[in-house]
Amino acid sequence: MLDNKGYPVYPGVGVLTKTGDPAYALATTGVFTTGGSLTATLADGTEQEFPSDDVSVGEKTGRITFTSSGTQYMIRDLREEDGVWMSRYKISLPIEALEQLTRQTGGTVNETLTAYALDDSAYLVGLSYTNDMGQWARINGDWVLLSPEDDTFSDTIVLEINMDMSSEFLDLYDNNFVTVTDAEKYEVADAEVAPTEE
């Protein structure tokens, strides 16, 4: 909880990275400074403190850079590529979808990657990613947010994509007309589908 001892330096959702360590990336929901240190609130609600008197803000980028214990860190905006480590599907996703994943403190966001086919078609007619914030359709290599009332994929055959094969499937989908037979190779097995709580 932010009190009168500190002030926000990065109040929105961001990503904390470490120079020289490309695998280090933590989603933050707020960053503030107090008493010679910088404190980042992480997506799970915990706080991580970094002793630092060297904090700067990029005028054009808004990025925060600081040095703590001899290591340089940066806090930047979310990028679609952050879905590779934030989402269970390990694929690039819309910023709005990633914000939902970040803000779900103390809970689990429901995510699905779903392909669609028609009874009389040998090829897929669509692909969507859905989480608690909304549903996006994959169109020409981009994710497009659908209206809650959109019925594009009603009355279709649904194939839920296995999260361990999602990156490979997305590449296939973006570069080819995918047959239903090929898509079935990436489908979640019946035994892997978790029951939905009503």
Furthest-apart CA atoms within the chain: distance in Å: 67
pLDDT of residue 196: 37
Q: Do 131 and 173 lie in a common domain?
A: yes
How many folded domains does the chain comprise? 2
Do the Cβ atoms of 112 and 160 come closer than 8 Å? yes
Single out the residue in 77, 93, 128 at which a domain terminates.
77
| CATH of residue 18 | 2.30.29
Domain that holds residue 111: 107-192
CA distance 184 to 160: 9
For residue 183, give the nearest of 118, 103, 123 by alpha carbon.
123
Q: What is the pLDDT along the chain (198 residues), one digit of tens a residue?
A: 444 446 788 878 999 999 999 999 999 998 988 878 999 999 888 899 999 878 888 877 888 899 999 999 999 999 999 999 999 999 999 999 999 888 765 557 789 999 999 998 899 999 999 998 899 999 999 999 999 999 999 999 999 999 999 999 999 999 999 999 999 999 998 634 444 343
In a domain, 1, yes or no: no
- Verify that 181 and 116 share a domain, yes or no: yes
What per-residue confidence (pLDDT) applies to 43? 86
d(CA 147, CA 128): 13
62 and 135 together in one domain = no
Write down the pLDDT at residue 98.
Answer: 93
Report d(CA 62, CA 142) in Å as an integer. Answer: 26
Q: Rounded to the nearest 5 degrees, what angle is found at the Cα of 124, between the Cα atoms of 119 and 126? A: 110
Cβ atoms of 98 and 88 within 8 Å: the answer is: no
Same-domain check for residues 188 and 114: yes
Same domain, 173 and 124: yes
pLDDT of residue 10: 83
How much is the pTM? 0.82
For residue 18, being part of any structural domain is answered with yes
